[in-house]
Structure 1
Amino acid sequence: MDAYCPVCGQPMSWVSGHFHCDTCHAEYKQTPHCPDCHLPLQALKACGAVDYFCQNEHGMISKKRVVFSYAPLGD
């Protein structure tokens, strides 16, 4: 999955549990959202796989449909 900086649009790198933009020198946390209700999803991790669950009546959400947002670390 490619992640792009919300400020400058350049690709970001995964560093120590967060994304880092080499161009802006900013760090971002990634949050998965339901494509139907736009609320945050619960990430279910097992055996190296990650699945996403919507607690608002939408159930399991395909990884292909998940919408990610990026917020600066510390917010």
Structure 2
Amino acid sequence: MTLLCPNCQRELEPSATDNHGGYCSHCHSNFHSVAYCPQCEQPLEVLQACGAVDYFCNHCNELKSKRQVIYRLEETH
């Protein structure tokens, strides 16, 4: 899957620490992915234990399936 820079639409170089983030060598911006709830579009809490990753929506007060999570790239400062 190719990720594009939200600023200039160039291809991002994959991040070594974030599977859904990257670096744009054209506009020199770093991006990380943030998981959002598919129903209310609020940021999700990431729960990690024993290698498993789950997502919880504090607004909806329920766990969300990994298949439904919406990822958005946000610039790191």
The change in CA–CA distance for 1:48 and 1:9 in structure 2 (over 3 A counts) is farther
Seen in structure 2, the aligned counterparts of structure 1 residues 2 and 63 have a Cα distance that, compared at 3 Å, is farther
In the alignment, which residue of structure 2 is the partner of 1:36?
39
CA distance in 2, matches of 1:9, 1:66: 24
2-side partners of 1:45 and 1:3: how far apart? 24
Is there any run of 5+ residues in structure 1 with no aligned partner, and where?
none
C-alpha displacement of 1:49: 1.5
The residue type equivalent to 2:11 in the other structure is Q
Paired residues, number = 74
Structure 1 residue 21 corresponds to structure 2 residue 31 = no
Report the alpha carbon displacement of residue 64 of structure 1 after superposing the two structures with TM. 0.6
Determine the structure 1 residue equivalent to 2:6.
Answer: 6
TM, length-normalised to structure 1: 0.76
With structure 2 as the length reference, what TM-score do the two structures score? 0.74
Question: Gaps (5+ residues) in structure 2?
Answer: none
Cα distance, 1:48 vs structure 2: 1.4
SS in structure 1 at match of 2:68: coil
